[in-house]
Amino acid sequence: MNKKVLVLIIVLVVFVLIGSGIYLFTKDSGENNENAPVNNNNNNDENNETDELSTLVVYFSNSGNTEILANFIHNYVGGDIVALEPTVAYPEDYNDLLDVAQEEQQSDARPEFNDLNIDIEDYDTIFIGYPNWWGDMPMIIYTFFDTYDLSGKTIAPFNTSGGSGLSRTVGTIRELEPDATVTDGFTVLGDNVDNAMSDVEEWIDPLGL
Ligand SMILES: Cc1cc2nc3c(=O)[nH]c(=O)nc-3n(C[C@H](O)[C@H](O)[C@H](O)COP(=O)(O)O)c2cc1C
């Protein structure tokens, strides 16, 4: 009788042990299965937010030519596009505009622009567009370079002009942003901007951005 009871107890203990083992094993596996994809997704989401930098097209355009070019470029490369809008509007009269632009240049002015609502750290490539004004960039472009630290980023300059092309502006940008990579620039006559798309693609493709 005692022997039978002992055998029964041993059998029960063995069952309990096996049962507990199976329970713990399936519980662990279940938890791992549930958590693994969630954790991976979280990590991927975080990586996407922090690691993937984008392209910004930023431009100033007074009479619309550079804006057309900027939109071509934005449609081709994607990312975001923002316009530099002077807080004090330029004169509508062309001769007055010529005078104001020249005065700004001679006084090395830094005309202010409205808040761009961007975080520059979101971008690793900056396309910067401007009209040729008196053989140089409009001074508002200097304000942009003063405002943002573009170290480590790639800057791709483009402009429209009445015939002077880029003048010395690409070299100037390299001086203003010595810790950035400044690509070759792209220029087109303001009057020809509507037909510039294929030239834009030929400029951008070899840059490998
Ligand atoms: C103040 C001012 C200065 C300019 N200076 C030059 C110049 O030195 N060389 C040139 O080729 N075009 C010059 N232009 C012509 C513009 O570069 C050209 O019209 C450009 O396409 C205008 O671009 P936007 O329409 O984006 O403002 C000047 C225009 C203005 C308003």
Q: Where are the beta strands (DSSP E) in the chain?
A: 54-59, 80-83, 123-131, 154-161, 181-182, 186-189
**56-81 tens-digit pLDDT:** 999 999 999 999 999 999 999 999 99
CB 175 within 8 A of CB 194: no
Q: Which atom of ligand 1 is nearest to the CA of 134?
A: 8
In this prediction the pTM is 0.79
CB 166 within 8 A of CB 139: no
What residues contact 187, with CB distance under 8 A and at least 6 apart? 132, 158, 159, 160, 161, 165, 166
Integer Cα distance of 134 and 186 in angstroms: 18
Integer Cα distance of 95 and 34 in angstroms: 71
10 Å CB burial of residue 78 (0-12, 13-18, 19+) is exposed
Which token pair is 60? 């100033």
Q: How far is the CA of 48 from the centre of ligand 1 (A)?
A: 41
Ligand 1 pocket test, pick from 98, 133, 164 with the greatest ligand atom count within 8 Å of Cβ, gives: 133
Integer Cα distance of 164 and 184 in angstroms: 16
CA dihedral in degrees (95, 86, 174, 130; nearest 10)?
-50
Residue nearest atom 27 in ligand 1 by C-alpha distance: 62
**Rg, the chain, Cα only:** 31
Digitized pLDDT (tens) for each residue of the chain, 209 residues in all: 566 655 555 555 555 555 554 444 444 443 333 333 333 333 334 444 556 899 999 999 999 999 999 999 999 999 999 999 999 999 999 999 999 999 999 999 999 999 999 999 999 999 999 999 999 999 999 999 999 999 999 999 999 999 999 999 999 999 999 999 999 999 999 999 999 999 999 999 999 98
Integer Cα distance of 133 and 117 in angstroms: 26
Integer Cα distance of 166 and 187 in angstroms: 6
CB 84 within 8 A of CB 115: no
Q: How far is the CA of 120 from the centre of ligand 1 (A)?
A: 28
Q: Which amino acid is at 108?
A: D
Does residue 163 line the site of ligand 1, with CB under 6 A?
yes
Q: How far is the CA of 184 from the centre of ligand 1 (A)?
A: 20
